[in-house]
Amino acid sequence: MPQQREIYILGTGMVTPHGVQQEALPVDKLACHIIEPNQRTDTSDLTRFIPKRALRRIDHFSRLALYASFLALEDAGLLEVDLENTGVAVASGYGAALTSFNFLDSFFDNGDRLASPTHFSSGLHNAASAYIAMQTKAQGPCVCTSNIGLGPAYALASAIHWLQSGIVDYVIVGGVDEHCQVLEYCIDRFQSAEEGAPLLPNVVAGEGAAFLVLGNEPLKATSCRLGDLTIAPCSEQKLQQKSPLVIAPLGVADQQDMITELTSRENVTNILPILGSHPSALAFSMVQAAQRVCSNVNSEAQAFALDGLNNSALISFKSI
């Protein structure tokens, strides 16, 4: 068994329709005020990191992941560092939803022989992780996990294993999902006023990406340490009452009693009203919790999320 090593959060990156980094989840705004059919996250500043020509065939979904990843690398001070021995672990619930539906449209409109190969290749869930690896020149393990609610926890578990095993120096890990009209239509249908509606009313389909850069050594004074990662049924989780908690609900109606109980406590932040229903929202909770500790606001913070089966993930971050 490899010797246990401390794992540090070296940098964070986050993008949503609200903005980037500290503006990505403003407490005074609501998701329903910004999610419109034609309003999406602005990724135009991605050209700071990647030439415009290289972005020509990269779709919105992968641009979200690239943008948040490079912001995290910039925050870590690793943009000019050789990242060859770096792993990439990406989580996504729905993958490149808009691109996938565009591929289906091209298939229905033009037949299988003339369906768009670009939409097909970009519509795969692991397209985002592949683009991150190519653009950063990372040659370590590269995976994509897909789970509604707990995907980022599984991606983080992979990242922890790689770093504990010593097979990589750094890991770029996070979650990404995009908004599209089909998903918005589905959410509207599942939150009808009829009794037994599975989703809460007024929930919208959110989008954005949130990433962490992990390593075994703190590179700067504002790094923080990864504490525990526990994936278990909700009833078995042991929340630290005095530690700030950032929760990432899916907007599922049968979880509302638990969310109401959690949010009634002190130092609990619910990102659902700001981000919207996002299958990889735990990545945003992770980033927010890590940022609180890195900025010395708190000495410890936790991120918490549930899937649709009452399983949950609890992740803690601690000061160095």
Pairing type for strands 245-248 and 300-306 reads: parallel
Q: Distance between CA 21 and CA 9 in Å, rounded?
A: 15
Pairing type for strands 245-248 and 268-270 reads: parallel
Q: Residue 289: pLDDT band by 50, 70, 90 thresholds? A: very high
| pLDDT value, residue 105 | 59
Q: Which of 23-37, 131-145, 283-297 has the lowest average pLDDT?
A: 23-37
Q: What is the pLDDT of residues 34-55, one digit of tens each?
A: 766 557 899 999 999 999 999 9
Q: Residue 1: pLDDT band by 50, 70, 90 thresholds? A: very low
Phi and psi of 311, rounded to 5°? Answer: -85, 160
* pLDDT at position 2 over 50: no
What whole-number percentage of the chain has pLDDT above 70?
A: 88
Whole-prediction pTM: 0.92
Q: Which residue has the higher pLDDT, 305 or 34?
A: 305
* pLDDT at position 186 over 60: yes
Q: Distance between CA 153 and CA 305 in Å, rounded?
A: 9
The set of residues, in sequence order, having a beta carbon less than 8 Å from that of 219 and lying 6+ positions away, is 8, 10, 76, 77, 78
Identify the H or E element spanning 99.
helix 97-110
Q: What is the pLDDT of residues 227-263, one digit of tens each?
A: 999 999 988 998 888 899 999 999 988 888 889 999 9
| pLDDT value, residue 303 | 97
Q: What is the pLDDT of residues 85-144, one digit of tens each?
A: 999 999 999 987 776 666 555 565 666 665 556 655 555 668 899 999 999 999 999 999
Quickly list DSSP for 14-42: EEETTEEGGGSS-TT--GGGT-BTTB---
